């Protein structure tokens, strides 16, 4: 078996070679579609709004399920939510980013090559979803035991069974959908870099949360009557791990992913778990319980926007530079805020993404209140503070993304596999921390109607 390192790419470097600057012509199916600022805005705006509505529904669903007995009795489940949603979002978005780069590079030599790559990547994602959900259970159990001082064994069984089964099902369903979405976008002349990653994250949050709630309720209801069923469910998912390894080994690129790419998603999972701990401690305060509705919104939107920028920059580097080479203005220390100043398409996309924050979050903030059936709208202080937190979060993430993607490429690592997990996990942590601060400030100034 050949040796693989963390510098291996989705497709062999030799295949990317056809898309370097030395190339003189492109066919209709190679390279990203031609873009104007208007077309870019439309392509980003539509999935952004749809994705935002997905996060709104996820927040409303989380507000409902947190009152269920299983969530009330097992505090670790609430800690698990940001970690599991973040982990699933990372897996879906890295898959979407890798496939978007491969599609835009036009490097598929045959239909068979394309399907081997797709099936191999889906198998890797199933493997990662299973193993990382198990790790998420361990982290949530440790944090839950730390905060509560105890953790009943049957609660651990419920946690593991619900987490592994929901992650397995969500990964399988959404992986198939994302493959169709990426290739469908290209077929209709859209740039999948603008559309695939936000769609992957947002509806993945809603789907994963719904499955987690359903599996948790099922496990909680049957733990005393049919405990063996819970063991069998988790065991079935774990027994499929060798099958995913065998399938992924059929293609060199997916085989490389078996050996690499674990570090960023594991570190991202730990970071998101810390965000979950902050969320659980904030929600446990009755005065701040209202934060639960807004957490998926601020975290989901921040991750969606920065993933678009990361995917776009990564595709541009794959198409125009050899691994280790970066643009002249990125070869030395530079001001990351410079991403917002310039006339290039990635500068324009950064400006568009930042400008979408305030109108987008206003729509999602008021939509969540209307869907809740609230008789009053959010107070001015809540609205202003929430928007300020969102702008700070997205501005910081876009600056970090520009610096991180170029640094990873300069060091010979594939940004498609490395940058998005770090960025979305950082977005979860930053968004949860800022939102907690917002609610603390509102409580201190006496704006209790917003809480």
State the virtual CA torsion across 277, 88, 200, 251 in degrees, nearest 10.
150
Q: What is the mean pLDDT of residues 386-405?
A: 91
Mean pLDDT of the chain: 78
171 shares its domain with 305 = no
Confidence check: pLDDT of 2 > 50:
no
| pTM confidence score | 0.72
| Cα(205)–Cα(295) distance, integer angstroms | 12
Q: Give the angle subtended at the CA of 340 by the CAs of 339 and 343, to the nearest 5°.
A: 90
Domain range for residue 179? 70-262
Q: What is the mean pLDDT of residues 198-217?
A: 81
120 shares its domain with 256 = yes
| Angle, in degrees to the nearest 10, between helices 380-410 and 345-355 | 160
Phi, psi angles (nearest 5°) of residue 373: 80, 25
pLDDT band at 240; cut points 50, 70, 90: very high
**pLDDT score recorded for residue 1:** 44
Confidence check: pLDDT of 20 > 50:
no
Phi, psi angles (nearest 5°) of residue 341: -125, 115
Any domain includes 424: yes
141 shares its domain with 205 = yes
373 φ/ψ sector (left φ>0, alpha ψ -120 to 50, else beta): left
Q: What is the pLDDT of residues 308-335, one digit of tens each?
A: 888 888 888 888 888 778 777 676 656 7
Q: Give the angle subtended at the CA of 299 by the CAs of 298 and 303, to the nearest 5°.
A: 115
164 shares its domain with 296 = no
**pLDDT score recorded for residue 344:** 74
| Cα(416)–Cα(396) distance, integer angstroms | 20
Any domain includes 48: no
CA atoms within 13 A on the CB side of 346: 23
% of residues, the chain, pLDDT over 70 = 84
Q: What is the pLDDT of residues 341-382, one digit of tens each?
A: 777 777 888 888 899 999 988 988 888 878 776 656 778 888
Q: What is the pLDDT of residues 140-164, one digit of tens each?
A: 888 778 766 777 888 888 888 888 9
Q: Which of 64-73, 100-109, 434-443 has the lowest mean pLDDT?
A: 100-109
Q: What is the DSSP letter of 432?
A: H
Token representation of residue 77:
């489940």
pLDDT band at 263; cut points 50, 70, 90: confident
Looking up residue 342, the CATH number of its domain turns out to be 1.10.357.20
Any domain includes 158: yes
**pLDDT score recorded for residue 358:** 92
Number of domains in the chain: 2
**pLDDT score recorded for residue 396:** 92
Q: What is the pLDDT of residues 340-350, one digit of tens each?
A: 877 777 788 88
Any domain includes 37: no
356 shares its domain with 221 = no
**pLDDT score recorded for residue 251:** 72
| Angle, in degrees to the nearest 10, between helices 415-444 and 291-320 | 150
| Cα(366)–Cα(347) distance, integer angstroms | 30
Q: What is the mean pLDDT of residues 168-194?
A: 81
Confidence check: pLDDT of 388 > 90:
yes
């Amino acid at each position: 078996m050949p040796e693989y390192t963390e510098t291996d790419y989705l497709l062999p470097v030799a295949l990317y070679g056809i898309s370097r600057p030395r190339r003189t012509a492109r066919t209709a199916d190679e390279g990203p579609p031609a873009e104007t600022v208007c077309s870019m805005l439309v392509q980003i705006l539509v999935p952004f709004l749809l994705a935002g509505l997905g996060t709104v529904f996820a927040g409303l669903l989380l507000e409902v399920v947190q009152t269920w007995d299983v969530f009330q009795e097992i505090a670790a489940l609430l800690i698990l939510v940001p970690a599991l949603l973040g982990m699933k979002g990372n897996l879906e978005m890295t898959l979407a980013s890798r496939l978007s780069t491969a599609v835009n590079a036009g490097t598929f030599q045959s239909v068979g090559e394309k399907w081997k790559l797709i099936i191999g990547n889906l198998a890797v994602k199933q493997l990662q979803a299973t193993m990382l959900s198990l790790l998420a259970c361990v982290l949530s159990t440790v944090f839950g035991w730390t905060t509560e001082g105890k953790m009943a064994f049957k609660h651990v069984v419920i946690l593991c069974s619900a987490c592994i089964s929901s992650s397995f099902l969500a990964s399988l369903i959404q992986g198939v959908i994302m493959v169709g979405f990426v290739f469908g976008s290209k077929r209709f002349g859209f740039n999948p870099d603008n559309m695939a990653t936000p769609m992957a994250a947002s509806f993945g949050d809603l789907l994963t949360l719904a499955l987690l709630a359903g599996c948790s309720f099922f496990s909680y209801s049957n733990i005393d009557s049919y405990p063996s069923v819970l063991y069998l469910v988790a065991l079935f998912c774990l027994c499929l791990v060798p099958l995913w390894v065998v399938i992924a080994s059929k293609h060199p690129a997916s085989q490389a992913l078996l050996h690499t790419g674990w570090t960023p998603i594991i570190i991202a999972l730990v970071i998101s778990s810390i965000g979950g701990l902050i969320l659980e401690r904030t929600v446990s305060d009755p005065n701040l319980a209202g934060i639960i509705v807004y957490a998926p919104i601020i975290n989901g939107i921040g991750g969606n926007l920065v993933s678009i920028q990361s995917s776009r920059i990564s595709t541009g580097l794959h198409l125009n530079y050899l691994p280790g080479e970066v643009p002249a203005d990125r070869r030395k220390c530079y001001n990351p805020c410079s991403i917002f100043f310039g006339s290039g398409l990635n500068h324009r996309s950064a400006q568009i993404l930042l400008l979408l924050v305030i109108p987008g979050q206003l729509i999602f903030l008021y939509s969540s209140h209307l869907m809740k059936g609230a008789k009053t709208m959010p107070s001015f202080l809540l609205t202003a503070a929430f928007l300020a937190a969102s702008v700070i979060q997205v501005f910081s993430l876009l600056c970090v993304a520009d610096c991180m993607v170029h640094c990873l490429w300069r060091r010979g690592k594939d940004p498609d596999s490395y940058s998005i997990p770090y960025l979305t996990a950082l977005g979860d942590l930053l968004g949860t921390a800022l939102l907690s601060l917002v609610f603390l400030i509102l409580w201190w100034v006496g704006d209790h109607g917003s809480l």
